[in-house]
Amino acid sequence: MIGGTTHSEIDFESQIDRAQTGSLKWDKYKGKDIIPFWVADMDLPSPQPVLDALHRRVDHRVFGYTLAPESATEAVTEYLANTHSFEVDPEWIVWTPGLVPALALACRAYGVKGDAVMTLTPVYYPFLTVPGFADQELQSVPLVEDSVNRTWEIDFDEMERKVTNRTRLLIISNPHNPVGKVFSREEVEKLGQFAVKHDLILCSDEIHCDLILNDKAHICAGTLSQEIVDRTIIMMSPSKTYNLAGLACAYLVIPNAKVRHQFQKVVRGIITEVNCMGYTACEAAYRHGEPWRVELIKHLNENLQLIYETVNDKWAGAKIYPMDATYLAWIDMRHLGLKNPASKFEKFGIGLSEGSQFGGEGFVRLNFGCPGSVMDEGLNRMSKALAEF
Ligand SMILES: Cc1ncc(COP(=O)(O)O)c(C=O)c1O
């Protein structure tokens, strides 16, 4: 339906058939009875105002090379100021057609062959691979499990032990994919101070920052002290929250001119501009998507509640800690003693992400951005699988 939207029109329960759309998530299991709960896009429709804006853009009929529209940049700066208390000069914004290429380019912008990149594991797997693509060393610092408080902590001592004079970049997922943690101001500040102390660039990937499921506050690295901000690049995109991954629209905020120019220098001639549909969707999502986002968070919490009840109460030995953010549940299946538990679940019709891919052997990651009925079916299938293992 094109036109205005009301809350009651937001529909997160209908199942939308994604066959024949080239869906990475669904085509992985084409022709098989496997429900995909892996890659991070949702089986939910984007907000109606975004769909309306895209329709209007299509109706214009011409799709030439597109500069970032001033109105899109303005939507971004207003959103960052109003939602994350981050006052941004439009000049600081560098648009990119996705954050994964930006992560890879950041390694090349701030380091050379033989340098090192530090990150906290388990983590979104491109963080683990991009340093190697640039012939750089990966320095993984595992998050420490706090089984009493049922959370994950940053091991600052281990960071100090691992850092070398070749370390150039510290990449963090803030909030954290896959453990679903929102870092406190104290933690983000300490990470920033670590970057200052060791003369690193702090790369704060904040793609999940509008998917906070409880009352914790996201701490944008751009709101830290000037000495930290001057060495920080903040990576953002509306794509996770508003389900726009296929439109390839993301942006970096790099406040310091020298640091920004270093990045822009390596980007030149390598990656394309964002496409016109991406800008249109981004602007509409930030300007008009909030009522939809509020409903989305409620829906995700319903699915998450079901996951907590099933995993912690019904599956002996499995566990999940309370999550603050993302629609990606990090489920501990280490009790099964299986090397690749996700591959075993596939045989029972469930397509999960393998924890080892993120540096978390024995875990599975379950994407719960789906209708409740699909969540039910997926958890039932997992229960049956566990009974057979
Ligand atoms: C932390 C993080 N960064 C980046 C991405 C992907 O970003 P993009 O689709 O813009 O390349 C994801 C996708 O799940 C992610 O979880």
DSSP letters for 265-327: HHHTTTSPPPPHHHHHHHHHHHHH-HHHHHHHHHHHHHHHHHHHIIIIIISTT-B-----B-S
pLDDT of residue 3: 39
Asked whether the beta carbons of 188 and 174 are under 8 A apart, the reply is yes
Residue located nearest, by CA, to atom 9 of ligand 1 = 98
How far, in Å, from the CA of 29 to the mean position of ligand 1?
Answer: 22
CA 368 from centre of chain:
14
C-alpha 98 to ligand 1 mean position (Å): 7
To test ligand 1's pocket by mutation, which of 42, 124, 173 has the most ligand atoms within 8 angstroms of CB? 124
Give residue ranges with CB within 6 A of ligand 1.
40, 98-100, 124, 173, 177, 205, 207, 237, 239, 245, 250
342 CB burial (10 A radius; 0-12, 13-18, 19+): buried
Give residue 221's identity as a one-letter amino acid code: A
Residue 101 Cα: closest atom of ligand 1: 11
- Domains in the chain, start-ordered, CATH in brackets? 7-49+290-388 (3.90.1150.10), 62-287 (3.40.640.10)
For residues 238 and 286, the answer to whether their CB atoms sit within 8 Å is yes
Q: What is the block-wise mean pLDDT of the chain (389 residues), using blocks of 10 residues?
A: 53 96 97 98 98 98 96 98 98 97 98 98 98 98 97 98 98 98 98 98 98 98 98 98 98 98 95 94 98 98 98 96 98 94 97 98 98 98 96
- Which H helix or E strand runs over 146? strand 144-146
CA pair distance 304, 329, nearest whole angstrom:
8
pTM to 2 decimals? Answer: 0.97
Write down the pLDDT at residue 285: 98
Q: What is the pLDDT of residue 272?
A: 87
Question: Which residue among 24, 119, 172, 207 has the greatest number of ligand 1 atoms within 8 angstroms of its CB, and so is best to mutate?
Answer: 207
pLDDT score at 8:
53
Ligand 1 centroid – CA 316 distance (Å): 32
Q: 203 and 231 in contact (C-beta within 8 Å)?
A: no
Measured by CA distance, the residue closest to atom 13 of ligand 1 is 40
